[in-house]
Amino acid sequence: MATTSIATLQKMKREGVKISSLTAYDSSFAKLMTEQGVDFMLVGDSLGNVVQGRNSTVPVTLDDMAYHTKCVRRGAPEAFVISDMSFMTYSTPEQTYDNAATLMQAGANMVKLEGGEWLEETINGLHTRGIPVCAHLGLLPQSVNVLGGYKVQGKEEQQAENTLRQAKALEAAGAQLLVLECIPSSLGKRITDALTIPTIGIGAGPDTDGQILVMHDMLGMNSDYLPKFAKDFLAQGGSLADAFRLYTEQVRSGEFPAPEHCYK
């Protein structure tokens, strides 16, 4: 299969081809996802929850992220890999540059940061220094203590306008990809239509340029809780390889996410 790049993802947006992505944390799953056509992988700080057994992403360290990025890269040497910058590792531009370099040297093609307009200077500095950035708006797991829990964001018109404004600002600052998490489908469409960079939704409706899920959710491994925006593809596919292939096919066709996976 062809190697994914930022240019590939931008071309997919222009041509209306949906982008499929999943979180990955180790070599074996990264290899299998790539073989089944997943367009890119995110080494998510969600590893704090699904790998380390913690109740949030806050305790995850930069060393944790670098370690898992190296594991994913070994399993998928040619894949496009994004790595999360963990909690409080990008408080200032200078701190961010050093920590982003650590993740890039570990094997990332791009780093992801959670937050809005306060990150404009940082994103611009990373872009200038040759480090591609994926921004993240909507529900911000690292800010769950401020948000008061895992709640849908942007439901009120003022909140929606604020999120749209921030999305435009982050694109102007140099972000080349944007993750939108837990927002109404209508807002996901508004933001996607307003930007030239690809948007990747997780609970952001069917009109974003692509979708991402936490691997453990789409395999039904969190038996006590399945988020509204997730679907158990392993139950339908029957094997790990089939689950990843089915996910990619249903994202590409628009079958996933269905209305029951979306927020109004």
* pLDDT of amino acid 151: 80
Read off the CATH number of the domain in which 49 is found: 3.20.20.60
Question: pLDDT by residue (tens digit) across 205-235?
Answer: 999 999 999 999 999 997 677 899 999 999 9
* pLDDT of amino acid 226: 87
* DSSP-assigned beta bridge partners for residue 114: 136
Helix ranges (H only) for 36-156 are 47-50, 62-75, 93-106, 120-128, 144-147
Q: Is 174 within the bounds of a domain? A: yes
Q: Is 32 within the bounds of a domain? A: yes
Q: Is 71 within the bounds of a domain? A: yes
pLDDT at residue 1 tops 70: no
Q: What are phi and psi of 259, to 5 degrees?
A: -50, -35
Q: Is 191 within the bounds of a domain? A: yes
* pLDDT of amino acid 208: 98
Binding-site residues for Mg(2+), in ranges, read 45, 84, 114
Question: pLDDT by residue (tens digit) across 19-48?
Answer: 999 999 999 999 999 999 999 999 999 999
Q: How many domains is the chain built from?
A: 1
Tell me which residue of 213, 189, 205 sits closest to 263, measured CA to CA: 205
Question: pLDDT by residue (tens digit) across 61-107?
Answer: 999 999 999 999 999 999 999 999 999 999 999 999 999 999 999 99
What domain range is 161 assigned to?
Answer: 6-261
Q: Is 15 a catalytic residue?
A: no
Binding-site residues for 3-methyl-2-oxobutanoate, in ranges, read 45-46, 84, 112
Q: Is 60 within the bounds of a domain? A: yes
Do you find a cis peptide bond into 257, omega within 30 degrees of 0? yes
Q: Is 1 within the bounds of a domain? A: no
Spot the catalytic one: 181, 249, 255, 260. Answer: 181
Tell me which residue of 179, 177, 140, 154 sits closest to 263, measured CA to CA: 154
pLDDT band of 142, cuts 50, 70, 90: confident
Q: Is 232 within the bounds of a domain? A: yes
